[in-house]
Structure 1
């Protein structure tokens, strides 16, 4: 699962990483949450004359996928993630997998380790980022939902896959990362069918990400500063009480 992420690189670096000719300025975002607008990259509609850049453009969509056949979004669950293993055949995502694959620029994502109640441990938030730093691309899907009055809303979801390496001890899912050399293939919905790009929806190598424990302030959408990514010491689970023995003058049932 991916329920929060961040995009903190400067516009120039994002434009360069995704080979975008133009990209409007926007502030660094340290706590991007569902239903908020997210930056996505899509295949363009035609190469600009004289341009040597790939045909791509950026736009904002709402994070929370709504299939085109939904009549009332208020009665439909918020789809912020799509499982890579089933997206090709699932009714909600089938059309988008064929026609509207996107890239979602990110600096990293947040995940929570939620131990069992029996363990006595508290839930712990982690800031998970690429070890090499810089901006990366999550695989995503896009759909434009049209209401009865003719208004339209562009919506998107992040594809997830099985977690690897250190991430697997925190959560069993993580975003699918598309490598730069595969951007064009992933975005090419004209000649690349879903089955032909299925191999791109694999977990990244085990050492690609590093996980940094952070405070639970990231739980609140109102908290949006860089301090959210500052490391905190891991809290140890409280030790269970020592069992009394008969020598203590107390009854023991064990």
Structure 2
């Protein structure tokens, strides 16, 4: 399960979009600076944080908006687990991929058991990269309609599995447009898993120096 991740404003190499939009990158850096390095966590009954999300745009390939992490049902956070979605489920039910997005991050966090030591997973050193997400609209307890997202998870590769057995599906720049706008199908999630496996080879993990 991916239940927290980071967005460091000092990100260097960009592994996010095929055509990195300057406005999107500046918006992400500005948001991250305002967030002051805080860990991004699911939105819920007590946390009302909205996190930056890359979504399809009506007038271009992509746009930046803030979104609710986890699904809302009937104006309340869902009673079923919804911050993550298994890639296997999307392979069996590709219709659940009607709405898709890319979650920008510089690293996600998992606890290694039984030591209970938190680890940060990164692509290269300080790169900004994207995690696959599925989306749907939801109404907040205050009555506002927002985009809700769930991070797509897949089995971890051999060099990471001893720390955690699952990892986010990573969307490289060459596949960003297809993931955001392609027709929902078994073929699309299969292609995303193949592309993610290529990026996963560059992922490294290290114990977190701090926990904020």
Q: TM-score, normalised by structure 1?
A: 0.67
Residues in 1 aligned to 2:192 and 2:15: alpha-carbon distance in whole angstroms: 22
Partner of residue 9, structure 2: 9
Partner of residue 175, structure 1: 168
C-alpha change, 1:30 and 1:148, in structure 2 (3 Å) is closer
Ranked by relative contact order (alpha carbons within 8 Å, sequence separation 6 or more), the top structure is 2
Question: Conserved in 1, the CA contact under 8 Å of 2:55 and 2:180?
Answer: yes
The Cα shift of 1:84 comes to: 0.7
**Residue 40 of structure 1: which of 37, 53, 62 is its match?**
53
Asked whether 1:204 is paired with 2:176, we answer: no
Asked whether 1:76 is paired with 2:79, we answer: yes
Any idea what the Cα deviations from partners look like across 1:184-241, whole Å, max 9, x if unmatched? 111114xx232231221345245311111125x52xxxx2xxxxxxxxxxxxxxxxxx
Question: Conserved in 2, the CA contact under 8 Å of 1:14 and 1:105?
Answer: no
The Cα shift of 1:79 comes to: 1.2
Residues in 1 aligned to 2:95 and 2:135: alpha-carbon distance in whole angstroms: 11
Structure 1's unaligned 5+ residue stretches are 48-54, 116-121, 224-254
The Cα shift of 1:148 comes to: 9.3
Residues in 2 aligned to 1:157 and 1:75: alpha-carbon distance in whole angstroms: 12
Question: Conserved in 2, the CA contact under 8 Å of 1:20 and 1:58?
Answer: no
Asked whether 1:22 is paired with 2:30, we answer: no
Query: In proportion to residue count, which structure has more strand?
Result: 2
Residues in 2 aligned to 1:131 and 1:213: alpha-carbon distance in whole angstroms: 16
The Cα shift of 1:43 comes to: 1.3
Asked whether 1:58 is paired with 2:57, we answer: no
Secondary structure in 1 aligned to 2:178?
helix
Residues in 2 aligned to 1:144 and 1:162: alpha-carbon distance in whole angstroms: 27
C-alpha change, 1:73 and 1:133, in structure 2 (3 Å) is same
Greater CA deviation, 144-153 or 164-173? 144-153
Any idea what the Cα deviations from partners look like across 1:231-253, whole Å, max 9, x if unmatched? xxxxxxxxxxxxxxxxxxxxxxx
Question: Conserved in 1, the CA contact under 8 Å of 2:92 and 2:186?
Answer: no
Structure 2's unaligned 5+ residue stretches are 44-48
User: Which is greater in Rg?
Assistant: 1
Question: Conserved in 2, the CA contact under 8 Å of 1:9 and 1:134?
Answer: no
Report the count of equivalent residues.
Answer: 196
Which aligned pairs between 1:151-170 and structure 2 lie closer than 5 A?
Answer: 151-170=144-163
Residues in 2 aligned to 1:196 and 1:209: alpha-carbon distance in whole angstroms: 25
Secondary structure in 2 aligned to 1:164?
coil
C-alpha change, 1:114 and 1:16, in structure 2 (3 Å) is closer
Residues in 2 aligned to 1:145 and 1:83: alpha-carbon distance in whole angstroms: 20
Partner of residue 85, structure 1: 88
